Amino acid sequence: MPFVTTSDGTDIFFKDWGAGRPVVLSHGWPLNSDSWEAQQLFLAANGYRAIAHDRRGHGRSTQTWHGNEMDTYADDLAALIEHLDLRDVTLVGFSTGGGEITRYIGRHGTSRVAQAVLVSAVPPLMVRRDDNPHGVPVEVFDGIRAGSAADRSQLYKDLAGGPFFGNNRPGANVSQGIRDAFWLQSMAAGHRNAYESIAAFSATDFRDDLATFDIPTLVIHGDDDQVVPFEVGGKASAALVKGAELIVYPGAPHGITDTHKQQLGDDLLAFLNTHGA
């Protein structure tokens, strides 16, 4: 299996499908690159080189004790991009992966980047603070931490059966297979890695990173996202990135990579084709 080894000896697994202009897909917590398989297959079949990696501590990558924060995630992404010598790349980040690509741009710039897409993404800042009064109360994240420490297997089942895919809404019809895939991928993450990553996605402030975006940027978010509320995530990020395009999926939950596969694939392809087609 293909891996890139980072400067601290961490092995990062990646899948490299198709040929053409490169697209790198960064996954959400506590999943791995398999969560992108529908979009990766779709983009590769439509003339793009679609690459998806497992964040350190997740999936098939090394379960490190250290580095479970955004700066290191971004540097690992840089190691992947440099290893493959990717140019003119489009970065697509879902949820925590949106934080990862945003911090990448903040730390490494856009010399290799042509476009960026934030999907149900955690920037600019999730947790409520004095300077972020409309954020999510820290007690919510403390509850996730407590659930992870007590019984993370059940936590993941509860998330998949409830807010992640909006399965707690009237009329929801998310298959058992989709929920099982969420649980399976989540349990492949290291316990410490997934636990520490809760702070990474909830408490990292990406506002300065977003201010450095100087590339075409697309923001996609469901307005019934119960994990990263639209007003905290997509709406706020789009307001901070000059010229960003915002697409709102009415009534859509957080996990739109599964619940809105076709619509998301079509929107990604249309945006990709606006550059260098």
Residue 246: its H or E element: strand 245-249
Give the alpha-carbon dihedral of 145, 96, 106, 248, to 10 degrees: -130
Residue 206 half-sphere exposure toward CB, CA atoms < 13 A? 37
Instruction: Please give the Cα distance from 88 to 69 (Å, whole number).
Output: 26
Tokens representing 141 are 């994240």
Ramachandran angles phi, psi of 223, nearest 5°: -85, 5
Q: What pLDDT does residue 2 have? A: 96
Is the pLDDT confidence value at 275 over 80? no
Copy the structure tokens of residue 44: 């590769």
The rounded distance, in Å, linking the Cα atoms of 11 and 63 is 9
Domain that holds residue 74: 3-273
**Confidence label for 276 from pLDDT (cuts 50, 70 and 90):** low
The answer on pLDDT for 277 being more than 90 is no
Structure confidence at residue 150 (pLDDT): 98
Distance CA 265, CA 218 (A): 13
The model's pTM is 0.98
Rounded to whole angstroms, the Cα distance separating 156 from 228 reads: 16
DSSP H stretches of helix in the chain: 37-45, 70-83, 96-108, 138-161, 176-187, 191-203, 207-210, 234-240, 256-259, 261-272
State both tokens at 178: 């989709």
Q: Average pLDDT in the 180-203 region? A: 98
The amino acid at residue 86 is L
Question: Which active-site residues does the annotation give?
Answer: 95, 225, 254
Number of domains in the chain: 1
Q: How do residues 154-190 score in pLDDT, each as one tens digit? A: 999 999 999 999 999 999 989 999 999 999 999 999 9
CA distance 275 to 6: 30
**Dihedral sign, Cα of residue 257, residue 260, residue 261, residue 267:** negative
Q: CA torsion 217→221→198→192, rounded to 10°?
A: -80
Q: Furthest-apart CA pair in the chain: how many Å? A: 50
For residue 59, give the nearest of 121, 95, 12, 8 by alpha carbon: 12
Distance CA 49, CA 21 (A): 6
* Tens-place pLDDT, residues 223-269: 999 999 999 999 999 999 999 999 999 999 999 999 999 999 999 99
CATH number of the domain bearing residue 19 = 3.40.50.1820
Question: 125-148 pLDDT, tens per residue?
Answer: 999 999 999 999 999 999 999 999
Residue 28 to residue 18: CA distance in whole angstroms: 22
The answer, yes or no, to whether residue 215 has pLDDT greater than 90, is yes
